[in-house]
Amino acid sequence: MVLAADALVYIGDLTPSFAQIARVLASGGLFAFTAQMHDGEGYLVGADTRYAHSKKYIEETARQVGFSMRLLNLNSTRENKRAVVPGLLCVMSA
């Protein structure tokens, strides 16, 4: 299992990271992570200087590297200045 909690907010393009994680995971291995989310396309740097990724971008990137989506839930992962930050909780398998 690879776990990345509140780490992907520091990475824009997830393709290289997803590809390397897929490469090292054994068949059936799990990749679980949280991500800050936005409703647009792709990824962007928010006003909080953290990367936010769209749900569609994460799904497409996972599919490109061969992951199977096990769980993709809308879930706030943190607060910023007392406001809930939209997020995703994801679990994928190799």
CATH of domain 2-93: 3.40.50.150
Q: Rounded to two decimals, what is the model's pTM?
A: 0.91
Annotate 62-91 with b (16+ C-beta within 10 A) or e (fewer): beebebeeeebeeeebeeeeeeebbbbbbb
pLDDT of 81: 86
Q: Is the separation of the CB atoms in 11 and 20 below 8 Å?
A: no
Sort residue 45 into left (φ over 0), alpha (ψ -120 to 50) or beta: beta
pLDDT of 83: 86
pLDDT of 63: 97
**Residue 17 to residue 65: CA distance in whole angstroms:** 10
For residue range 31-68, list pLDDT tens digits in order: 999 999 999 999 999 888 999 999 999 999 999 999 99
Q: What is the mean pLDDT of the chain?
A: 94
**Tokens standing for 82?**
């007392």
